[in-house]
Amino acid sequence: MKYLKVEDLCVSYPNNGVAEKLVLKNINFSLKNSEFIAVIGLSGVGKTTLLHSIMGLLKPQRGRLLVGKVKGNPAKISVVFQDPLLLPWRNVVQNISFGLEISGYPKGKIPNKVQPLIDLVKLSGYEAYYPDALSGGMKQRTNLARALAVDPDILLLDEPFSHLDALTREHMQMEILEIFGKTKKSFIFVTHLIDEAVFLADKVIVLGGKPARIKKIVEIHIKRPRNLSLKGAKAFTLLKKKLHNLLENETV
């Protein structure tokens, strides 16, 4: 079942009021139920533009985005941004609850909805902490739980680990894999790190060129569940090299 289908997508940005600059050209791919797609490419190639188009923040110049239905309704999309953007006057529970509150979710049912998510993202014991008392990893876990609270079918993640140190980033990669395995949701994960894309995804979309096109969609035939020891395996190294070769002649 396809949750999302992107057909001949072309997206432009205004260029100093003179002419529009074409950023994405003829983008085609589909996202299936419980599938993990990573999107890679050099900085500025249009990875975030693609997510913004899927979110509806940018109107395509041409092409279309088809969102599949779940139980008769369009698949629900939620976003995890690069910056957690937590509300500083709300604690962990209150930040995670925010989307539920504004959507009109019954107030009395919110605690039962939020606590399992706190357990899932490993923030048990930090429920009453405010953002200024949280580490970078904890802030992003709170951000992730907030996105999951509205029970999306598709989760978009825009370089969510880019502000984290290398060790914390690896811990978060493992947690994302655990969350993906438990929730069975569909993920589109933007990253500039090739090894992160290979480690997490079922397939990797490689963007390149000006305007950006899909150079290749690479299938990642590595069994799940995965652990960090995989990064030393020959199959992992070969996939990294393949993706690196696709990007090595790109410029921004």
Instruction: Supply the DSSP symbol for 88.
Output: T
Predicted confidence at residue 107, as pLDDT, reads: 92
**Residue pLDDT, tens place only, 160-193:** 999 899 999 999 999 999 999 999 999 999 999 9
**Residue pLDDT, tens place only, 91-106:** 999 999 999 999 889 9
Arithmetic mean of pLDDT over the chain: 93
Helix 136-149 and helix 110-120, axial crossing angle in degrees, nearest 10: 140
For residues 126 and 238, give the distance between their C-alpha atoms in angstroms, rounded to a whole number.
41
Name the residue among 198, 193, 200, 194 with its Cα closest to residue 173. 200
Over residues 80-92, the mean pLDDT reads 94
Q: Is the pTM of this model over 0.85?
A: yes
Better-scored residue on pLDDT, 37 or 13: 37
For residues 222 and 230, give the distance between their C-alpha atoms in angstroms, rounded to a whole number.
9
Neighbours of 183 (CB within 10 A): 16
**Residue pLDDT, tens place only, 10-28:** 999 877 666 678 999 999 9
At 189, the amino acid letter reads F
Better-scored residue on pLDDT, 201 or 72: 201
The share of the chain scoring above pLDDT 90, in percent, equals 85
Helix 92-102 and helix 110-120, axial crossing angle in degrees, nearest 10: 130
Half-sphere exposure of 127 (CA within 13 A, CB side): 12
Structure token digits, residue 67? 């969102």
At 92, the amino acid letter reads V
Q: Locate all alpha helices (DSSP H) within the chain, ordered by sequence.
A: 47-55, 92-102, 110-120, 136-149, 166-183, 194-200, 234-247
Give all strands of the β-sheet with 213-219 in edge-to-edge order.
77-80, 154-158, 186-190, 36-40, 203-208, 213-219
Structure token digits, residue 142? 């709170």
At 33, the amino acid letter reads N
